[in-house]
Structure 1
Amino acid sequence: MNNIDLNDIRLFVTVVQAGSLTKAANLLNMPKSYLSRHLTRLEQDLGTTLMDRSRQGILLNELGERFYLKAQDMLQTVQTALDSVRSNLEAPHGLLKMSVSTEVGRGFLMFHLAEYMRRYPDVSLEIQIDNHKINLIREGVDIALRLGDPNNNNVVARKLFDIELGLFASKAYLAKAGIPQTPHELHGHDLLYKYDGPDWHFSYKQRSVHIEGKNKLYSNDFNLIGHMVGEDMGIAMLPCFNNMIRPDWVRLLPEWKIAKVPLYAVYYKNRGSVLTVRSMVEFLLQKNPALQS
């Protein structure tokens, strides 16, 4: 056991995160047979099996689960030690791949990218803007910006800030349909929903109301929903980003509180000490809209 290769442990963690030998081999650009040999050697050195392998993927046994969690922490410690030496010798450089939801990309990130790029000229950015859920390792993404708690024990989720939500409609729509005075009156209106977005839950003093009204439009994109508000199609709950809310729209029920939605920077534990990842996360932590003048 004293001769266990640290690289074998790193390959084991990558295979678990990728979900299968095939996907890990593609990600690492190495033969599947090479990975299999090193995993077998690791298990032989440990004196026990860690996983079952099949065409559908890999399945950790109880010892494998425990070893995986400890291995992640160990690799993080090793990476931190390496980076502590390199930090005085290197500046952030190389490719940084990010995945960002459309509303966060267009409502927040795009306004700060130029500053980041001027500050770190040796970093190249590849930014994927869409709303589908991703596997960071499988898709080679360093950082994902996502609304709501990822609820994934394998990743680090750094909270950047809370996003305020509001209820909006155009003047033309309200002139036609009337102005709701309470959340209950929303039932008589055309509602534009983000189907993977926040609940329509309102609170005022000691009262609490949950609304599931007439669904005029379902979408997973706040930008599309906002556009339809501008087309006088109904009422929508939207993030209060400056470039998303038109000044001629009416904010409805402002006295009723809507829970804010947290925005997180998400990355794998063993990537948290990488200079490029750390530089972007630290940069974004300074860009809370509430702190901007």
Structure 2
Amino acid sequence: MTNGSWDLYRLFFVVAEAGSVNRAAAMLGMSQPTLSRRIGDLERSLGAPLFFRTPSGVRLTQEGEELFSSASAVHATFQSFQREFRGRMAARSSLLKISATEGLTRHWLIPRVPQLRRRFPGLSIHVDASVQQQSLAESDLDFVIRIGDPGELDLVGRRVGEVGFGIFAGASYLARRQPPASLRDLCDHDLVGGAVGASGFKSLRANESAFQRVWEGAVAAAGTRVHPRAAQHAAVAEGLGLSFLATPFAEAEGLIRVLPNEGIFVDLWLLRRRESDLRPLTRAVGRYLEQELAASQAWLAGRPEGTPPVTAVAAGR
């Protein structure tokens, strides 16, 4: 079989069923001369005539009859395959797979799931809340919302804002300890965190790098190591000490910021694979996510004028 021969057999089948090259060309959306030339290519490839040309159309030769009989079974099988495959494609195309950190998932993404379902009827949503950077290709993800380094170079997307980070304590801790007055006081406090602390963030400003160095030095001597960061929230809420946390998520959980003028702002990215743009629903959901992230910028950065995400969803934006 020569290259492109499957398409030639498909064209043959349409002409045979239509009984006319002109009618078949109209059905296929191609010109009559082009279709005649393609049928001629198939006849030369097989070394046999397939049609008698008549004033009223075409009629199958004996070889054409035999080919049509065989092609009918193949054509029916292919049509059945197409219907089945379209059904499977429709199921995947109505599924949104998205990965975000646990804090983003809990405090920003989950509150928007009802709104997503209302705006996009039939949409199914799979959320992977993980502190690890998920691979879009290996996990077949549609979107990843990342804080900090955007990671994979083959992803497309945009910076959609920034997330503020600061030092937080629980009410019970501050009930028995005076809050630190400066970064130098951190060494006199119980700190909750890990050896990485604020590391891993890219493109820090000079004052942010200085803050990072102080925090890293203080937390290196801390007596409590807790991973992942979501567990640090729980540890701080229990009054175990101070921790370096994302401002919007810590405040949403009722934690109290100390040293409010000290902290870091980290880029927030909405990323996807270019191939995902072939799914119309994914493109539409992507626009919705971009709009919602843009509307949430003040809240994500931890600025006072920020609007909590639940309010934004309730307002039906």
TM-score above 0.5, yes or no: yes
Alignment deviations for residues 42-93 of structure 1 (CA, whole Å, 9 cap, x no partner): xxxxxxxxxxxxxxxxxxxxxxxxxxxxxxxxxxxxxxxxxxxxxxxx9x95
Shift of the alpha carbon at 1:104?
1.0
Equivalent in the alignment of 1:254: 260
The percentage of aligned residue pairs carrying the same residue is 22
Q: Distance in 1 between matches of 2:273 and 2:292?
A: 22
Instruction: Letter of the 1:101 partner, please give it.
Output: T
The runs of 5 or more residues in structure 2 that have no matched partner are: 5-89, 299-305, 313-317
Equivalent in the alignment of 1:188: 188
SS in 1 for 2:192: strand
Which residue, 231, 234, 238 being the options, matches 2:238? Answer: 231
Equivalent in the alignment of 1:105: 105
2:104/2:249 contact within 8 Å kept = no
1:148/1:262 contact within 8 Å kept = yes
Shift of the alpha carbon at 1:205?
8.3
Greater CA drift, 180-189 or 190-199? 190-199
- Say yes or no: does 1:272 pair with 2:277: yes
Alignment deviations for residues 161-206 of structure 1 (CA, whole Å, 9 cap, x no partner): 2112221112332343432111121122221226666349999989
Given the superposition, is the C-alpha separation of residues 196 and 131 from structure 1 closer, same or farther in structure 2, using an over 3 Å criterion? farther
RMSD between superposed Cα atoms in Å: 3.3
Equivalent in the alignment of 1:19: none
Q: Distance in 2 between matches of 1:264 and 1:140?
A: 18
Residues matched between the structures, number: 203
Shift of the alpha carbon at 1:240?
2.3
1:226/1:245 contact within 8 Å kept = no
Given the superposition, is the C-alpha separation of residues 109 and 207 from structure 1 closer, same or farther in structure 2, using an over 3 Å criterion? closer
Q: Distance in 2 between matches of 1:114 and 1:253?
A: 36
Instruction: Letter of the 1:183 partner, please give it.
Output: L
Q: Distance in 2 between matches of 1:154 and 1:204?
A: 30
Shift of the alpha carbon at 1:95?
1.3
2:166/2:246 contact within 8 Å kept = yes
Given the superposition, is the C-alpha separation of residues 134 and 226 from structure 1 closer, same or farther in structure 2, using an over 3 Å criterion? same
Equivalent in the alignment of 1:140: 140
Larger Rg: 2
Instruction: Letter of the 1:228 partner, please give it.
Output: A
Equivalent in the alignment of 1:160: 160
Structure 1 length normalisation: TM-score?
A: 0.59
SS in 1 for 2:160: strand
Instruction: Letter of the 1:118 partner, please give it.
Output: R
Shift of the alpha carbon at 1:115?
0.5
The runs of 5 or more residues in structure 1 that have no matched partner are: 5-89
1:93/1:124 contact within 8 Å kept = no
SS in 2 for 1:137: helix
2:166/2:245 contact within 8 Å kept = yes
1:192/1:217 contact within 8 Å kept = yes
SS in 2 for 1:198: coil
Structure 2 length normalisation: TM-score?
A: 0.55
SS in 1 for 2:248: coil
Equivalent in the alignment of 2:75: none
Shift of the alpha carbon at 1:286?
1.7
Instruction: Letter of the 2:280 partner, please give it.
Output: L
SS in 1 for 2:236: helix
Shift of the alpha carbon at 1:121?
0.7
2:94/2:281 contact within 8 Å kept = yes
Given the superposition, is the C-alpha separation of residues 158 and 254 from structure 1 closer, same or farther in structure 2, using an over 3 Å criterion? same
- Say yes or no: does 1:128 pair with 2:119: no
Given the superposition, is the C-alpha separation of residues 185 and 195 from structure 1 closer, same or farther in structure 2, using an over 3 Å criterion? same
1:144/1:266 contact within 8 Å kept = yes
Higher helix share: 2
Alignment deviations for residues 29-53 of structure 1 (CA, whole Å, 9 cap, x no partner): xxxxxxxxxxxxxxxxxxxxxxxxx
Equivalent in the alignment of 2:247: 240
Higher strand share: 1
